[in-house]
Amino acid sequence: MRVVIQRTGHASVTINGTCKSAIQKGFMILVGIEETDDKEDIDWLCKKIVNLRVFDDENGVMNKSILDINGDILVISQFTLHASTRKGNRPSYIKAAPEAISRPLYERFAAGVGRALGREVATGEFGADMQVELVNDGPVTIWIDSRQRE
Query: What residues are annotated to the active site?
Result: 78-80
Q: Which 8-state DSSP code applies to residue 96?
A: B
List, as one string, the DSSP characters of 51-69: H---EE-TTS-EEE-HHHH
Phi, psi of 112 (to 5 degrees): -65, -40
DSSP 146: G
